[in-house]
């Protein structure tokens, strides 16, 4: 059974006819063709599919597409404006928080969710905030450094 | 922590933490991985696997599946070549699809190609496979016994690989020893768990096959795919886009490439195949579980006189890269400490479990855990400080191991001393409160394997550089594979340095068997040294041609000219300069494309005994690690507080990336030390084939990391480089086990060092003490 839903994706209104059992992740990747949101496990473990749903970070593999109806979705493609990187993205590059990059889109959005609520988080608060996002390459240290630094940048 | 001590050398581009060349694409989500690609008219494919650990296939009926709307092809062993394959040429034992029997839960039986993923899953349910279930060999410690089920009829007693090596006279060394001690340890199965699942997209055009794959080695894939389908290598193109981590798990072609290629040929359409997370665990090729018995004889000062390593490893159902894993397990053990007498016995045993292969540190981390624990026990028995016994035995530069590996640069003693000073070892050792402990261990690894996986006289690496026609940019073409470690960045830095150009104007085309020159790929920590050597040569060829042109333009002798960071200048007259771009543009106008090429082959390395090739390398990295832990006596919970990691990895091209490798290696080592293990039920079924229950560590689990570097220069490497990414994994498990012992006086002899094991050991220790007090 399909449903018609309307939602806002990265600031643009979208109208989509979507099967009721389709996940938000699959809708983002297949119907919206936004491939920056990654499928790492499809089970809510890895966090690579993290997007912001009405500013809250969610594993988009655990959310049905129809649950996003009338809501606002932010994916990694929605962060850079006019070719200008979001400060978190710039900090990830500067601090070497990127290796293979597969967790990066979800990690950047998880970081945005932390900083949107608290622009000056402690190291522990950052670790708590990204604990749902696995990174197999970096050991998280440079990711934490990047989030700390971008918090300061956004503030200053 | 410490700054790169090579940075003060007069280099314009290398030795600097330039940002990653792919950073912007990766942070914006623009970076495409194989699973993100799609092609017109593309189908989706899935592989049906065995639900039994060991069973005879009686029949396979695909009729119902073929009738389902949306199904375009269903294939079994009847539709594919029956030639056995495997990444190790010494033991090809795998078929695209099982013919007579299945050998583990997850073994490949059939595959489908359909219009979408959903139809694939429905179609697989309609394939009827009749099995006769057989008893399974699930315990590698008993699988060699008489009467055990046979995994492969060709390999009696389930022996996949048997190794017996002896160097010097171990028996005599034990006779001469002041003290001889034996300890036994058990390692667990772990899995690489890259965050990107494996994907492959196969397509045919005019009899030629193209495969986009999440691969660590397009070359080996091309070689083995061509062999399997009896094709010319030139008719097979393998390439990758971005790869989301590998750690050894994406080094060999899988059913995704083999079955996908057949499905694409039958349907005449591109076919995308992928593993879901559970299928990744089932495909496995991760770290072997190893049983390790080590006996060592020392003199009264703790100097090692001889060592006998007697190991067994759980190979799973197929060879994969396991022959090399088995040899590596023993071959790398005598690297960090000097001794002359060494004996290594090993059986790699087949079981009805997923096949094991190469995982970061290949074969070496578990033996290193065992040896580092064993050495601490010896030090304790002799009353020697753990760092002191390691310094007394530490390998020196320009020495040869008993198994004939030549070691050039080696600063392990300095690594130990620096780690000791950074960590405050002297103030802490023996003085920490109960529950708090400090431990030390060392590691070492090859900087590229001395010989390729299959026998060939191809150079190990090659590179080309093309300067743009107007001279403002240059493109490096390399077969080296960036799987996240940053080789695209490091090799671009090296190219710019060698050419006298700037990093910011470098572009790179990598890892495509059609457009880039040959390279064996990302494994054995080989690319900075080997691919780097080829890149350096290519850059120097550009530089020579450019300066020759500049000499004509400036009317000076070429030997008077030098180029650095995009500027050509005279060595004798500072008023004479010319831009790289102007000279390069003029070169193109007068002489055609400005192209440089390079290639690298290591010198002939190693001895003549059986298995002598495994572990040879032009250079070896060394490191020392110290960790401080806090143990909760009530619960056994281990809190790793701080880790000090000090490396001798030669000249550092990009300190930022290097520390990233160290942190990542520590992270993997931490997971394997305390939480990670692949578990099966009594029928050989995976019970924790997902990232949550496998217990991948999160950001909250990471200790504070302090990484330091020892200034060193490796004569065998371009600009003095050697490896860091894998060697850093080696000390961690032993380091933590030693810290736990220091904290609580209990020795955990098996991996992972779980809270439960610590709790149980503490309980047993308490009970023993109470009994003795009565």
* Domain CATH code at residue A132: 1.10.150.120
Report yes or no: A144 at the B interface, CB cutoff 8 Å.
yes
- Decide which of A78, A103, A131 is a domain's last residue: A78
A36 neighbourhood in chain B, CB within 8 Å: 28-30
Q: How many residues does chain A have?
A: 156
Quick: pLDDT tens for A105-123. Answer: 999 999 999 999 999 999 9
Break chain B down into helix, strand, coil percent, rounded to 5: 30, 25, 40
B/e letters for B619-631, b = 16+ CB within 10 Å, e = fewer, are: bbbbbbbbbbbbb
Helical axes A141-155 vs A87-94, angle rounded to 10°: 140
Q: Does pLDDT of B6 surpass 60?
A: no
Of B35, B192, B663, the CB nearest to A139: B663
Mean pLDDT of B439-464: 97
Domain count, chain A: 2
**B34-134+197-243+250-283 and B458-600 share one fold:** no
Distance CA A39, CA A37 (A): 7
A38 and A16 co-located in one domain = yes
* d(CA A141, nearest CA chain B) in Å: 7
Architecture per CATH, B290-447+619-769:
2-Layer Sandwich (3.30)
Distance CA B770, CA B774 (A): 6
A11 and A73 co-located in one domain = yes
* d(CA B276, nearest CA chain A) in Å: 7
B485 neighbourhood in chain A, CB within 8 Å: 99, 137
Report yes or no: B485 at the A interface, CB cutoff 8 Å.
yes
Distance CA B228, CA B211 (A): 14
Distance CA B149, CA A91 (A): 56
Of A46, A102, A128, the CB nearest to B33: A102
A62 and A37 co-located in one domain = yes
A34 neighbourhood in chain B, CB within 8 Å: 29
Chains A and B form CB pairs within 8 A to the count of 169
- The verdict on a CB contact (< 8 Å) between B699 and A131 is yes
Of A101, A126, A133, the CB nearest to B22: A101
A64 and A112 co-located in one domain = no
Distances (CA, A) of B370 to B628, B671, B751: 19, 17, 10
In chain B, whose CA is at the least distance from the CA of A96?
B656
Rg of chain A (C-alpha set): 15
Quick: pLDDT tens for B631-667. Answer: 999 999 999 999 999 999 999 999 999 999 999 999 9
A114 neighbourhood in chain B, CB within 8 Å: none
CA nearest B221: which of B421, B521, B664? B521
User: Does 3.10.270.10 match the CATH number of domain B34-134+197-243+250-283?
Assistant: no
Distance CA B498, CA B12 (A): 10
Rg of chain B (C-alpha set): 27
Mean pLDDT of B451-461: 97
A37 neighbourhood in chain B, CB within 8 Å: 29
A116 and A144 co-located in one domain = yes
Report yes or no: A47 at the B interface, CB cutoff 8 Å.
no
CA dihedral in degrees (B753, B758, B761, B767; nearest 10)?
Answer: 180
Count of C-beta atoms within a 10 Å radius of residue B40: 6
A16 and A74 co-located in one domain = yes
Mutation site for B-interface testing, chosen from A44, A61, A77, A96 by largest number of B Cβ within 10 Å:
A96
Distance CA B357, CA B82 (A): 23
In chain A, whose CA is at the least distance from the CA of B725?
A137
B666 neighbourhood in chain A, CB within 8 Å: 139
Confidence band, pLDDT 50/70/90 cuts, at residue A42: very high
Share of chain B above pLDDT 90, in %: 98
Q: What is the ipTM of this complex?
A: 0.98
In chain A, whose CA is at the least distance from the CA of B246?
A100
Report yes or no: B197 at the A interface, CB cutoff 8 Å.
yes
Tokens of B178: 């002041």
Of A45, A80, A142, the CB nearest to B28: A80
A53 and A121 co-located in one domain = no
Question: Rounded to the nearest 5°, which phi and psi values hold at A40?
Answer: -100, -30
Report yes or no: B33 at the A interface, CB cutoff 8 Å.
yes
Distance CA B83, CA B49 (A): 19
Quick: pLDDT tens for B258-304. Answer: 999 999 999 999 999 999 999 999 999 999 999 999 999 999 999 99
Mean model confidence pLDDT for chain B: 97
A38 and A67 co-located in one domain = yes
* d(CA A79, nearest CA chain B) in Å: 8
Share of chain B above pLDDT 70, in %: 99
Of B32, B36, B663, the CB nearest to A138: B663
* d(CA A5, nearest CA chain B) in Å: 22
Report yes or no: B483 at the A interface, CB cutoff 8 Å.
yes
Q: Are B85 and B272 in contact (CB under 8 A)?
A: no
Strand order in the sheet with B461-467: B506-510, B474-478, B461-467, B595-600
With helix as H, strand as E and coil as C, how does B678-728 read?
Answer: CCECCCCCECCCCHHHHCCCCHHHCCEEEEEECCCCCCCCHHHECCCCCHH
Mean pLDDT of B671-699: 98
Tokens of B472: 């403002």
Q: Rounded to 5 degrees, what angle do the CA atoms A103, A109, A113 make?
A: 140
Q: Does pLDDT of B3 surpass 50?
A: no
Q: How many residues does chain B have?
A: 774
- Decide which of A55, A78, A101 is a domain's last residue: A78
Q: Class assignment of domain B458-600? A: alpha beta
In chain A, whose CA is at the least distance from the CA of B481?
A100
Report yes or no: B687 at the A interface, CB cutoff 8 Å.
no
- Tally of CA atoms within 13 A in the half-sphere of B757 that contains its CB: 16
Of B27, B32, B659, the CB nearest to A108: B27
Q: Which residues contact residue A52 at a Cβ distance below 8 angstroms, ignoring those fewer than 6 apart?
A: A58, A72, A73, A74, A109, A112, A113
Report yes or no: A27 at the B interface, CB cutoff 8 Å.
no
Helical axes B487-499 vs B532-554, angle rounded to 10°: 30
A10 and A37 co-located in one domain = yes
Distance CA A139, CA B458 (A): 36
Confidence band, pLDDT 50/70/90 cuts, at residue A145: very high
Q: Are B522 and B460 in contact (CB under 8 A)?
A: no
Of A41, A90, A102, the CB nearest to B691: A41
B244 neighbourhood in chain A, CB within 8 Å: 38, 40, 100-103
Mean model confidence pLDDT for chain A: 96
Whole-number pLDDT of residue B4: 42
- Residue spans of the domains in chain B: they are 34-134+197-243+250-283, 290-447+619-769, 458-600
* d(CA A24, nearest CA chain B) in Å: 16
Confidence band, pLDDT 50/70/90 cuts, at residue B38: very high
- The verdict on a CB contact (< 8 Å) between B29 and A37 is yes
User: DSSP label at B528?
Assistant: I
Mean pLDDT of A88-112: 98
- Decide which of A38, A60, A78 is a domain's last residue: A78
Distances (CA, A) of A61 to A13, A37, B609: 21, 10, 54
In chain A, whose CA is at the least distance from the CA of B33?
A102
Whole-number pLDDT of residue B500: 98
Q: Are B81 and B230 in contact (CB under 8 A)?
A: yes
Confidence band, pLDDT 50/70/90 cuts, at residue A155: low
Mean pLDDT of B512-530: 98
A109 and A70 co-located in one domain = no
- The verdict on a CB contact (< 8 Å) between B245 and A46 is no
In chain B, whose CA is at the least distance from the CA of A141?
B663
CA nearest B427: which of B387, B392, B459, B461? B387
A74 and A93 co-located in one domain = no
User: DSSP label at B128?
Assistant: E
Report yes or no: A67 at the B interface, CB cutoff 8 Å.
no
Distance CA B289, CA B316 (A): 10
Distance CA B112, CA B114 (A): 6
Question: Which residues constitute the domain of residue A128?
Answer: 87-155
Q: Does pLDDT of B172 surpass 50?
A: yes
Whole-number pLDDT of residue B774: 78
Quick: pLDDT tens for B324-376. Answer: 999 999 999 999 999 999 999 999 999 999 999 999 999 999 999 999 999 99
Q: Does pLDDT of B708 surpass 60?
A: yes
We report the CATH number of the domain holding residue A52 as: 3.10.20.30
CA dihedral in degrees (B211, B20, A34, A26; nearest 10)?
Answer: 70
A74 and A91 co-located in one domain = no
Report yes or no: A18 at the B interface, CB cutoff 8 Å.
no
Confidence band, pLDDT 50/70/90 cuts, at residue B1: very low
Report yes or no: B27 at the A interface, CB cutoff 8 Å.
yes
């Amino acid at each position: 059974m399909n449903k018609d839903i309307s939602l806002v994706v990265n600031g643009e209104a979208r109208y989509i006819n979507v099967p009721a059992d389709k996940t938000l992740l699959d809708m983002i990747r297949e119907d919206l063709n936004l491939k920056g949101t990654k499928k790492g496990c499809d089970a809510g473990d890895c966090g690579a599919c993290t997007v912001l749903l009405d500013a809250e970070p969610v594993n988009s593999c655990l959310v049905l597409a129809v649950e996003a109806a009338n809501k606002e979705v932010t994916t990694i493609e929605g962060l850079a404006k006019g070719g200008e990187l979001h400060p978190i993205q710039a900090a990830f590059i500067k601090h070497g928080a990127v290796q293979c990059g597969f967790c990066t889109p979800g990690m950047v959005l998880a970081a945005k969710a932390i900083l949107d609520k608290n622009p000056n988080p402690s190291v522990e608060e950052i670790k708590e905030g990204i604990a749902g996002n696995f990174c197999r390459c970096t050991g998280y240290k440079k990711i934490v450094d990047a989030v700390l630094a971008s918090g300061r940048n956004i503030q200053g | 922590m410490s700054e790169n001590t090579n940075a003060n050398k007069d280099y314009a581009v290398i030795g600097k933490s330039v940002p990653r060349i792919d950073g912007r694409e990766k942070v914006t989500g623009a970076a495409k991985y194989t699973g993100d690609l799609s092609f017109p008219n593309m189908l989706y494919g899935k592989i049906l696997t065995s639900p039994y650990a060991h069973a005879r296939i009686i029949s396979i009926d695909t009729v119902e599946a073929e009738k389902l709307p949306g199904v375009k092809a269903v294939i079994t062993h009847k539709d594919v070549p029956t030639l056995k394959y495997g990444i190790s040429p010494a033991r090809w034992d795998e078929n695209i699809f099982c013919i007579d029997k299945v050998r583990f839960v997850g073994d490949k039986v059939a595959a489908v190609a359909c219009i979408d993923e959903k139809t694939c899953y429905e179609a697989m349910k309609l394939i009827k496979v009749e099995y006769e279930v057989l008893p399974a060999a699930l315990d590698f410690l008993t699988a060699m016994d008489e009467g055990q089920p046979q995994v492969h009829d060709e390999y009696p007693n389930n022996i996949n690989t048997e190794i017996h090596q002896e160097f010097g006279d171990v028996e005599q060394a034990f006779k001469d020893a002041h003290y001889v001690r034996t300890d036994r340890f058990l390692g667990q199965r772990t899995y690489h768990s890259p965050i990107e699942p494996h994907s492959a997209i196969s397509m045919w055009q005019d009899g030629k096959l193209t495969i986009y794959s999440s691969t660590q080695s397009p070359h080996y894939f091309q070689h083995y795919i061509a062999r399997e389908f009896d094709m010319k290598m030139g008719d097979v193109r393998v390439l990758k886009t971005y790869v989301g981590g590998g750690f050894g798990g994406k080094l060999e072609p899988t059913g995704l490439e083999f079955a996908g290629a057949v499905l694409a040929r039958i349907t005449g359409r591109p076919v995308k195949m992928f593993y879901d997370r559970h299928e990744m665990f089932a495909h496995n090729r991760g770290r072997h579980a190893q049983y390790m018995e080590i006996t060592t004889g020392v003199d009264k000062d703790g100097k090692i006189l001889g060592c006998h390593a007697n190991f067994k490893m759980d190979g799973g159902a197929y060879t994969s890269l396991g022959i090399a894993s088995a040899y590596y397990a023993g071959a790398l053990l005598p690297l960090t400490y000097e001794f002359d007498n060494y004996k290594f016995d090993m059986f790699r045993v087949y079981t009805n479990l997923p096949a094991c292969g190469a995982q970061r540190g290949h074969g070496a981390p578990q033996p290193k855990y065992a040896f580092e624990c064993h050495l601490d026990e010896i030090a304790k028995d002799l009353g020697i400080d753990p760092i002191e016994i390691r310094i007394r035995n530490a390998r020196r530069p320009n020495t040869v191991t008993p198994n004939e590996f030549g070691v050039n640069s080696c600063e392990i003693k300095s690594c130990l001393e620096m780690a000791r000073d950074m960590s405050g070892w002297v103030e802490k050792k023996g003085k920490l409160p109960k529950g708090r402990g400090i431990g030390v261990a060392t590691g070492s690894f090859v900087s590229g394997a001395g010989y390729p996986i299959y026998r060939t006289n191809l150079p190990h690496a090659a590179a080309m550089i093309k300067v743009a026609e107007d001279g403002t940019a240059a493109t490096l073409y390399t077969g080296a594979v960036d799987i996240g470690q940053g080789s695209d960045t490091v090799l671009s830095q090296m190219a710019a340095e060698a050419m006298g150009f700037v990093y910011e104007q470098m572009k790179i085309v990598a890892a495509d068997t059609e457009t880039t020159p040959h390279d064996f790929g990302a494994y054995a920590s080989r690319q900075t040294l080997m691919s780097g050597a080829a890149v350096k040569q290519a850059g120097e060829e550009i530089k020579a041609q450019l300066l020759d042109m500049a000499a004509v333009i400036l009317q000076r002798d070429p030997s008077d000219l030098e180029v650095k960071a995009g500027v050509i200048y005279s060595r004798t007259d500072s008023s004479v300069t010319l831009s790289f771009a102007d000279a390069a543009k003029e070169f193109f106008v007068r002489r055609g494309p400005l192209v440089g090429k390079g290639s690298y082959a290591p010198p002939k390395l190693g001895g003549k005994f059986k298995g002598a090739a495994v572990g040879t390398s032009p250079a070896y990295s060394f490191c020392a690690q110290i960790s401080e832990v806090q143990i909760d006596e009530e619960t056994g919970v281990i809190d790793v507080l701080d880790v000090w990691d000090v490396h001798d990895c030669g000249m550092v091209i990009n300190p930022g990336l290097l520390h990233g490798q160290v942190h990542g290696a520590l992270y993997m080592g931490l997971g394997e030390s305390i939480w990670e293990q692949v578990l099966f039920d009594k029928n050989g079924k995976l019970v924790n084939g997902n990232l949550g229950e496998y217990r991948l560590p999160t950001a909250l689990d990471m200790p504070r990391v302090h990484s330091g570097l020892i200034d060193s220069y490796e004569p065998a490497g371009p600009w003095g480089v050697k490896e860091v990414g894998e060697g850093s994994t080696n000390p961690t498990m032993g380091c933590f086990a030693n810290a736990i012992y220091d904290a609580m006086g209990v020795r955990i002899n098996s991996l992972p060092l779980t809270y439960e094991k610590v709790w149980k050991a503490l309980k047993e220790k308490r009970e023993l003490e109470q009994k003795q007090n009565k």
